[in-house]
Structure 1
């Protein structure tokens, strides 16, 4: 059939200026949702997980799919390009464009209906995969495809990308799991689509409407190019590149929904999806097979496939090395068999015995291959994390050059994978990318899909030119093997330009005509897949990237070469910070978990900081450190440090926030919030109160209603209960008490942090007595000492460095003798273990302080051989402080509690929400309480009143006391056998005395005023 019956292909992106002011006003007046054209929002959405950057026109967050349809209508009236976005983790540039971005993830996340008998459900596009499967759990069904980003990827994004994941070995790609889609064309045509038999096609034809015209053109397109499609589309499990024109073939039922899956927002907007569901695998087993090299592991894939694993993954020793360097999954790495590369074959069964038998059958069929069989679900999950951590583990590895996407998901026939990996490694070597520290290779080997991140030089013009040449050569290589440019992540901009190499000019012309059928004016995600921007255009870095390079930094950023720009560029966009639960103990981004806002995720804040440095000269943020947009995004950062550990790229937003605040208010201290002064200088205030023994009087004032309101207003903090000062500080108690105990284990210096010393000294007393009984001699420094934490968290870094410097000099003699420093408050202990070395990376005494600071549990386990704690049988739930999770670790605590006979459950509660000064700062109360209400408070309500609540952090104990009415205990209290210390409010006489004094003062002031 002649192609003249079809529209001409879209051949290049069409640019036109859009009246942003009028467009934003129209969207706000007509769309039920949030419309954001501010600089901060545009900066946060300027890139995804790829190498590319394009600042959007604006962002719309619709509350319903119908609101999204109205947003499309408004955009059409203004001729504005559109981009639908899910989790924003795409690795080929699909989710960044100069367009109106529709973010479905905040509100459009409903599971609308489930039909267990038909094994289908209808969902809105913003629902997160793990959330969907949790809701489906009672039915025994789930959505099958599961990418490594399953915690935060949305179904809409998965549809746009034709996602796969490890489970595709069993369930196939997304295109294989879609029953129907409700879609909206840019011109307003809206319809449900799916497989279409002749009768259904005839019924659509009879309507004579725009949908009928579309279907007629699609049939013409299919009939014109059917032979070319069959010839040029590789018959492999992981062909994700190109549009799914094969779905239109008669043998695939003229499946229009299948055609649109993987179209990357370039053809339609998906409003709803009907998904096919599969039964949940009840029991699993895992076989890990070891091989001498990754190509040998890949070569063994055909031997494993006949055993029908439900997942078959591969990884090499370089990935293991990177994870060890970054201290990821240490327990699981110890369970690997002997080898330099590994296959992970997962089996399922209705019973544990059935799953285990399948695993053992595989091992028996491969004699001589080193192997481990894991049947315990916890150990399987730990080892699976090794594979899922691949992208983050291979980004920003200390001592190695940065790595980037570009050729991270090519796919070939599984039986040819070993040969392909040998040729690919030779290509790496030819271009200078291969070395002992070169790219790790891993991926879905059972389906011939390879993941890798390559140390491209995207900082210089020569490096970018080499990057282009490599991709061109790699495209020819994978095509030679009958493979696909993309086996999972799509084409976007990275591979759009290379599609003719794989498909030939005739099929690529068909792609262009398909684009013209649905989007003749090229308004849907222009420049991606069809008529693409060049693969080396719109780079986030590039040879012309020249960011501001601040030299007067307080933190020295030793892990980023001393560069704040490199630190801000650390985020790789994987979106782990957008996780909606705290399962697995993740702490990162409590404010995102509450608000659902991109700007309140670690990734969003990192994007704003990157744009603040304005390396391209066209960024939305133009006022550097003075940026109100960046300050606003960081305002709800709890500085929990969860991202320091939970983020695969180890972004440390708490440190970045402190550095930003220090410069934001530099030379203009009057602009600082009052809470920065009242809470940042708390150690000085506490010292003054302690020296004068004014605790009872201050407590009476702060707990007398009229005066407490005045106090909180003057301090610029929320109206919440102010913690009580102790009548006697820990230092005062120890000064009057001669050291006791044998001291056979040596001497340890107990650090009198502000919170323990002045507010909860009973914890310090418990620790002293416990340690003396354990054979330690305990010393406590006298005089005013401080780690500087409160100044760090409020960004008063010049003062923090002075305070911390004095402390290090004070502790130097003890440290140089090899003495240990014991911290009881996790946040202060973390300053010694992390922040201090980042403020003073070249100071030997600071290094000693980092290495010789221990927690109570570490002291009594690792430094007290043979120690047996007092028996404390009973049950406890533990709220682990964020900084302990991120910096110190909790393994020693668990071990010590188990030795003491405590049955302890660590709550997957994340941050308590108080987070030092955060929950007291004005404007933060609602978020603070919402963070606690997600997991912590419900868990405490459900726990037995007799269950001990463990919380080493002062903030955690305060939040639990104020919001749950429970008295949490420190580990030292529990082990020492002390009952919980119940805060005693000032009695009536003290409050009356304070009121009387205040009344006299006010009367005196009034008389003085009258005389004047």
Structure 2
């Protein structure tokens, strides 16, 4: 019986809303894409909110004989998170629960928790979870456990398998088992006695087969994620223990993990590292063998090609350029509970290496900045290849392990294969203590001869790893589709047959992620290869890793940066090929809202992206290309008559305030909503956090003398037009408070001439009116240049986004500051604190993060309040200039969890962008205002005039 997707969707529609049952072409492509180099497009994508829904979905899938694949973050690399059937996504605002035991020895996590979040929850206890994949800032716990991901400092002892405390899971038949709950275990033993007996029999047969048992022990002396976790059959006697450990690394093919309990590990606060250079890889590997006995946390091996790939990056050591071609490096990491112990450990390591030949003396750094710079060498290797690859090619990162005594010979063997198959850009790095190597190269899958070249390389790599050295074909990235054809080659026929027995025992209908781990198609690793057609130089370097997704404000509403790029690549391909005009029209229509209208343009994706892609720049460029002459004329008029636009805005705000006073908030909201609907959503939505009109600016130059200096103050157009909301605790305009603070600190204030007509142009740029934005910025630049006496005086802008835009775009050598940095650097020394608030909520804007001001902002807030709370989600608020008015659903989605994440006793919220503060106030349930208000309230002049 074949799958009936229409009937299944109708069945699911009884308990899942239409907005979470997705089958349109654009979103099935976008949501169906993961970080691997494979592509399957699902027939149906379902966003699943909770365990009860998952149980009902699995029951329905069984009735309709429909395969399903579970997806967490989609950062996996081996093709285990894609499907051409039904893809079950963890809804972004759900599956995020966690609990920590009193002694912090155990943390229980739902599968939607990002790995880095788990560590942040444990940080106050100086604990962390054991797994530490490179993708930990994006990867979710469900994927980390299902793939048995490990990482640089994890080794084998601290992976999910070895730190598993308990598991809550859903089997293919919909049964829920919680191994931490004795009642659940008892009920399961009664209901699934045959399953547990079968596991016990298989375990006994395995232990009684000395050859197979010894092979399993041998395989797991190394890192190994090829196939199922057969070690569970010899490590445990209780079938419940066997079952839950089999789930680790099963890649969603045996069941769904709805919660995992981890035994936490110590997270030592004191750290040191050294990049140690050796004349050859053989000598480096001799050092690895010695370091296994030393108190090291991690040892990362890098060949010369790896070092060469990053040597021109900023902050890299100059000596990297002068190294011989044979040089290899070890990045050695050491951690301890206190500085004294750390120094003793470093001394012990240096003693171990004293008889090893080095290229230069080993130097451990204890400085946090230098420490991070050295680790950036290692972290930059994968993106370094991605950034320089030929457009249209993809980046492959393979993941293997060798016995450490054979590591040097294995590296030489890989180098010979790269040479033989002409992968001259390939580089090698890895977790040397475990013999775990990654090699990275670029590949074109659009040419048959190139696919054959790849096939030849991989066939010989498998022979090298398994045949010559008895290694692992997948050490930590999971089997997926990538290595499924080679599982039997690595494990042998007995173990392979055992794996199929386990699969059929748990999933007799083969509906859970079929084709992953076990696949009878010997060439499945060469099929369904993902195309990466050129689309635009702004995004062509994207490797679709998904690291950008957790920070994107539209991630739970429409598309993420990765998904926007996937969609635009397909639109561009269809335009160039001309093959399917109907599909192209549908894509362009849907992308207008999904991709363009709901992109916040915040640019935080570039910070998280390994190759620095700002998807917002693509959005602006597309908007510009879609503008006709009418839009350009409107933009020109706005640019020339900006003072009129500002005056009109203030008049509108005064009218809205009057209406609010007359109608009250409830009736005003209903009236505004009706007018918005009648206008086709062209009229902005009013809300109770809407500001009132700001008052008039003072004279251009004040008479207050500047005993401590002079500053040019540019009140942004937002703060010139938008005053406080009716319910805000501080009712003075921001420009008044900013000047009050400057006067207290003894500064003379200059305001540029005719400020009412000045704007940085960011609002025009966000609409794609780039030429008009440039004109507006140029006018402002000239005014600031004149007011500052050609850069003599610093320039202060009171709004973070405007300041960042000016810093990026202004060409004259102006000293441009936003409030937080200026207050910290220039004002606090002339002020004295007279009071503190009890507690405040702090929102750090996107542009503050991009300017590196997050820590400064936090420290300044802590000067003004005894407690400072930050929301769990650290991304953009989604107000995005005026989108909070025109697309309020973006702001609502981005801040859905804000109110629940803040304690009830917060007195107010603070930020440094007026528009962001509107959305924050609306969704937090308390007023947000500029941090300037708080500083002005809590500080007075050190020496009153």
CA spacing shift, 1:231–1:893, aligned 2, 3 Å? closer
Match of 1:488 in 2: 476
Match of 1:992 in 2: none
CA spacing shift, 1:258–1:684, aligned 2, 3 Å? same
Counterpart of 1:460 (choices 447, 456, 461) is 447
Counterpart of 1:641 (choices 603, 609, 632) is 603
Is 1:822–1:853's contact at 8 Å kept on the other side of the alignment? yes
SS of alignment partner, residue 245 of structure 1 = coil
1:133 & 1:883 partners in 2: Cα distance? 25
- The normalised TM-score by structure 1 is 0.71
Match of 2:654 in 1: 699
Match of 2:816 in 1: 855
1:623 aligns with 2:613: no
1:961 & 1:185 partners in 2: Cα distance? 43
Query: Per-residue displacement from partner, 1:285-318 (whole Å, max 9, x unpaired)?
Result: 3332421468354442111110143433344676
SS of alignment partner, residue 84 of structure 1 = strand
1:561 aligns with 2:551: no
How large is the RMSD of aligned CA atoms in angstroms? 5.5
Give, in angstroms, the shift of residue 74 of structure 1: 0.9
Match of 1:603 in 2: 562
Counterpart of 1:881 (choices 815, 821, 845) is 845
SS of alignment partner, residue 291 of structure 1 = strand
1:244 aligns with 2:229: yes
Give, in angstroms, the shift of residue 422 of structure 1: 3.2
2:652 & 2:46 partners in 1: Cα distance? 53
2:303 & 2:716 partners in 1: Cα distance? 46
Counterpart of 1:393 (choices 377, 383, 388) is 383
Match of 2:288 in 1: 301
Give, in angstroms, the shift of residue 476 of structure 1: 2.2
1:24 aligns with 2:31: no
CA spacing shift, 1:210–1:257, aligned 2, 3 Å? closer
1:492 & 1:207 partners in 2: Cα distance? 28
Match of 1:755 in 2: 718
1:409 aligns with 2:403: no
Is 2:164–2:260's contact at 8 Å kept on the other side of the alignment? yes
Counterpart of 1:573 (choices 519, 542, 545) is 545
Is 1:857–1:896's contact at 8 Å kept on the other side of the alignment? no
1:370 aligns with 2:361: yes
SS of alignment partner, residue 131 of structure 2 = coil
1:67 & 1:744 partners in 2: Cα distance? 64
Which structure 2 residue ranges, 5 or more long, are not aligned?
677-682, 723-732
2:50 & 2:938 partners in 1: Cα distance? 55
Give, in angstroms, the shift of residue 485 of structure 1: 1.4
Match of 2:78 in 1: 92
SS of alignment partner, residue 59 of structure 2 = helix
Query: Per-residue displacement from partner, 1:942-999 (whole Å, max 9, x unpaired)?
Result: 58x9xxx9754333455677764465255999799999xxxxxxxxxxxxxxxxxxxx
SS of alignment partner, residue 451 of structure 1 = strand
Give, in angstroms, the shift of residue 49 of structure 1: 1.1
CA spacing shift, 1:770–1:244, aligned 2, 3 Å? same
Match of 1:804 in 2: 774
1:251 & 1:952 partners in 2: Cα distance? 56
1:868 & 1:183 partners in 2: Cα distance? 56
1:351 & 1:938 partners in 2: Cα distance? 33
Counterpart of 1:954 (choices 876, 899, 914) is 914
Give, in angstroms, the shift of residue 36 of structure 1: 1.6
CA spacing shift, 1:691–1:505, aligned 2, 3 Å? closer
Give, in angstroms, the shift of residue 269 of structure 1: 1.0
Is 2:602–2:880's contact at 8 Å kept on the other side of the alignment? yes
Which structure 1 residue ranges, 5 or more long, are not aligned?
1-15, 195-199, 550-559, 579-587, 670-676, 837-848, 980-1012
Count of aligned residue pairs for this structure pair = 876
Counterpart of 1:354 (choices 341, 349, 356) is 341
1:135 & 1:619 partners in 2: Cα distance? 50
Counterpart of 1:792 (choices 746, 755, 765) is 765
CA spacing shift, 1:242–1:524, aligned 2, 3 Å? same
SS of alignment partner, residue 542 of structure 2 = coil
Give, in angstroms, the shift of residue 515 of structure 1: 3.6
Give, in angstroms, the shift of residue 94 of structure 1: 0.4
Counterpart of 2:882 (choices 913, 917, 929) is 917
SS of alignment partner, residue 524 of structure 2 = coil
Is 2:271–2:333's contact at 8 Å kept on the other side of the alignment? yes
Is 2:365–2:371's contact at 8 Å kept on the other side of the alignment? no
SS of alignment partner, residue 623 of structure 1 = helix
2:915 & 2:191 partners in 1: Cα distance? 68
- The normalised TM-score by structure 2 is 0.76
CA spacing shift, 1:143–1:812, aligned 2, 3 Å? closer
Counterpart of 1:538 (choices 528, 532, 537) is 528
Give, in angstroms, the shift of residue 761 of structure 1: 8.3
Give, in angstroms, the shift of residue 50 of structure 1: 0.7
SS of alignment partner, residue 450 of structure 1 = strand
CA spacing shift, 1:728–1:112, aligned 2, 3 Å? closer
Which range moved further: 509-518 or 409-418? 509-518
Match of 1:525 in 2: 513
Give, in angstroms, the shift of residue 71 of structure 1: 1.4
1:510 & 1:33 partners in 2: Cα distance? 41
Is 2:742–2:748's contact at 8 Å kept on the other side of the alignment? no
1:169 aligns with 2:158: no
Query: Per-residue displacement from partner, 1:617-641 (whole Å, max 9, x unpaired)?
Result: 7999753663336614655543322
CA spacing shift, 1:785–1:183, aligned 2, 3 Å? closer
Is 1:44–1:604's contact at 8 Å kept on the other side of the alignment? yes
1:443 aligns with 2:402: no
1:20 & 1:413 partners in 2: Cα distance? 47
2:59 & 2:628 partners in 1: Cα distance? 46
Is 1:229–1:245's contact at 8 Å kept on the other side of the alignment? no
2:688 & 2:654 partners in 1: Cα distance? 14
Match of 1:431 in 2: 421
CA spacing shift, 1:217–1:411, aligned 2, 3 Å? closer
SS of alignment partner, residue 408 of structure 1 = strand
1:658 aligns with 2:637: no
CA spacing shift, 1:85–1:207, aligned 2, 3 Å? closer
2:305 & 2:936 partners in 1: Cα distance? 44
Give, in angstroms, the shift of residue 537 of structure 1: 1.4
Query: Per-residue displacement from partner, 1:260-307 (whole Å, max 9, x unpaired)?
Result: 4322223x1134566451443455433324214683544421111101
Counterpart of 1:420 (choices 410, 418, 424) is 410
Give, in angstroms, the shift of residue 95 of structure 1: 0.4
Give, in angstroms, the shift of residue 529 of structure 1: 2.3
Is 2:832–2:940's contact at 8 Å kept on the other side of the alignment? no
Give, in angstroms, the shift of residue 486 of structure 1: 1.2
Give, in angstroms, the shift of residue 652 of structure 1: 1.9
Give, in angstroms, the shift of residue 428 of structure 1: 2.7
1:702 & 1:476 partners in 2: Cα distance? 75
1:72 aligns with 2:58: yes
CA spacing shift, 1:771–1:534, aligned 2, 3 Å? farther
1:140 & 1:741 partners in 2: Cα distance? 48
Query: Per-residue displacement from partner, 1:159-213 (whole Å, max 9, x unpaired)?
Result: 321211233237343222335656555456776789xxxxx99x97998735545
Query: Per-residue displacement from partner, 1:334-391 (whole Å, max 9, x unpaired)?
Result: 9999987653444455555334422332123323763444557x55984686378447
2:845 & 2:524 partners in 1: Cα distance? 48
CA spacing shift, 1:805–1:460, aligned 2, 3 Å? farther
1:131 & 1:722 partners in 2: Cα distance? 33
CA spacing shift, 1:132–1:721, aligned 2, 3 Å? closer
1:82 aligns with 2:68: yes
